[in-house]
Structure 1
Amino acid sequence: MASKPRKKCDELMLLANIGPAMRADLSALGINTVSELARKDPDELYLRLSALTGCRQDPCVWDTFAAAIHQARTGEATSWWKWTPERKRRQAKGEFCNRRGK
């Protein structure tokens, strides 16, 4: 019995909060490795994805980017909703994903 060829492991899919849809978003943003993701900023990714798709993304997308970047940088997996209070704090101060007050 011939064995099937092994698929190359997609390291981004191994991150806690990355499923097929978010993986597709990262690919569209030109991010294909954990090391590339570790060098990114969640505000930058959120704004670029909104521009790329032509529509405002759900704010939870930012939460997911923040969690994935944190894991890429530190190795610590956190739930995406752990980042929601930080986003909401920034939203209340008018600092969420605007070009002036990151």
Structure 2
Amino acid sequence: MPTDLIKLPGIGKKMVLMLNEIGIEEVADLRGKNPLELYEDTCDKRGERMDPCVLYTYRCAVYVAETDEAEQDVDLRKWWNWKDKQHTNERNLKNE
């Protein structure tokens, strides 16, 4: 099934598969999501601790999905620039 996820920066075939495994089928599914929860879901689904780069890519993907293209910061379209940033949708999972 074709997906628009592949159009997101940093998202390749493997990332599309990982997103599909946790119920994300298209870009619209990312809106309002917590990237940290998506990352934890991927780790649980795969039964292993994933590289933190997956979290950074999820942060970037949610940012791009939620932000109008004209308003996007060019630097935030690069997943590696999310290493030391939290997305506004993130919250401490331990406090829920």
- Please indicate the TM-score interval, normalised by the length of the shorter structure: 0.7 to 0.9
Summarize the alignment of residues 15-54 of structure 1 with structure 2, pairs less than 5 Å apart.
Answer: 15-54=8-47
Does the 8 A contact of 1:66 with 1:80 survive in 2? yes
TM-score (norm 2): 0.79
Q: Secondary structure at the match of 1:100?
A: helix
How big is the alpha-carbon RMSD for the aligned residues of Structure 1 and Structure 2?
2.3
Flag structure 2 segments of 5+ consecutive residues without an equivalent.
none
Flag structure 1 segments of 5+ consecutive residues without an equivalent.
1-7, 88-95
Q: Secondary structure at the match of 1:85?
A: coil
Kindly tell me: are residues 82 and 28 of structure 1, through their superposed partners in 2, closer, same or farther at Cα, counting changes over 3 Å? same
Q: Which protein is bigger by CA-based radius of gyration?
A: 1
The count of residues paired between Structure 1 and Structure 2 equals 87
Q: Which runs of 4+ in 1 moved over 4 A?
A: none
For CA contacts below 8 A with separation 6 or more, give which structure has more relative contact order: 2
